Structure 1
């Protein structure tokens, strides 16, 4: 991963830090113990337990490096300083889906934190990109995998 800025809320930053701590601590110890047990079986040339543990160790170290790089490039969105005059990172936005005749709330976050099941959408997603910079009353038309949606911005809040 390059030195590209990673936008995170305080909550997202804390989750990444906790994951990194877990991977560096208990996960490393767990893998080291599995490798030690596998070595006790003797010949490692045909030892699937050893191979699996070493593979898991490599994946763990890769994720640690990825997390460290993300945290090094993290830009924390201070929700107290978020301007709610228009849709931007860190804002919550209530929209009206004109085709489905229903209201939805989205939390605009960086791509690292996006989780559609929690209504957290990335500013890089089609809907997020279309909403960025919009104000209450604005209508956007967005191409999504299921077709085209028309959304009206109703409210922007923290």
Structure 2
């Protein structure tokens, strides 16, 4: 059974736009391959590169089509109001730097689909910060190991 892919409405729109861009890229790659195949042997030195580009575009289109087929729009949180969950918009304070970070907690596929709206960074719920943020409420503090440094955050606001 395929696993559902939770997306915000904005994420669904971004994923659909990414699919349209990749389909156009694939169609252009097909055209270039066809031109290279029709050219005589001396002029078709770029055929392998064109075929490789086409293969990559076809793979990405297939991946996006699969994600859209599994897409399930996130429903407003029920019973977890005020807790960070998929789709939540959150303002964090990086305690050590004194800097506020607006973000939206999304699935990994949605984070990869493109930039968020309203100046908020898209943070995957599978990233270290995303995993640590799930279930947190305004006022909660937590630390995340980011490799060479441990970052400390305070949740300022959580909106559904």
Aligned residues: 153
Partner of 2:50: 53
Partner of 1:5: 4
Partner of 2:59: 62
Report the CA distance between 1:68 and its aligned residue.
1.4
Please, what TM-score do these two structures have when normalized by structure 2?
0.81
Q: Is the 8 A contact 1:8 1:74 kept in 2?
A: yes
Whether 2:17 is the aligned partner of 1:18: answer yes
Report the CA distance between 1:63 and its aligned residue.
1.0
Provide structure 2 residue ranges, at least 5 long, that are not aligned to the other structure.
Answer: none
Report the CA distance between 1:62 and its aligned residue.
0.9
Provide structure 1 residue ranges, at least 5 long, that are not aligned to the other structure.
Answer: none
Report the CA distance between 1:34 and its aligned residue.
1.4
2:92 and 2:27 mapped to 1: Cα distance? 47
Whether 2:111 is the aligned partner of 1:109: answer no
Q: Is the 8 A contact 1:7 1:111 kept in 2?
A: no
2:45 and 2:148 mapped to 1: Cα distance? 44
Runs of 4+ in structure 1 off by over 4 angstroms are 115-118
Q: What RMSD in Å do the two structures reach over aligned CA positions?
A: 2.5
2:106 and 2:29 mapped to 1: Cα distance? 33
Report the CA distance between 1:75 and its aligned residue.
2.2
Please, what TM-score do these two structures have when normalized by structure 1?
0.82
Q: 1:11-47 CA distances to partner (integer Å, 9 max, x unpaired)?
A: 22122222323433x3343223212321232238x83
Report the CA distance between 1:150 and its aligned residue.
1.5
Q: For residues 20 and 139 of structure 1, do their structure 2 counterparts lie closer, same or farther at Cα, with a shift above 3 Å needed?
A: same
Q: Which moved more, 1:5-14 or 1:52-61?
A: 5-14
SS at match of 1:7: strand
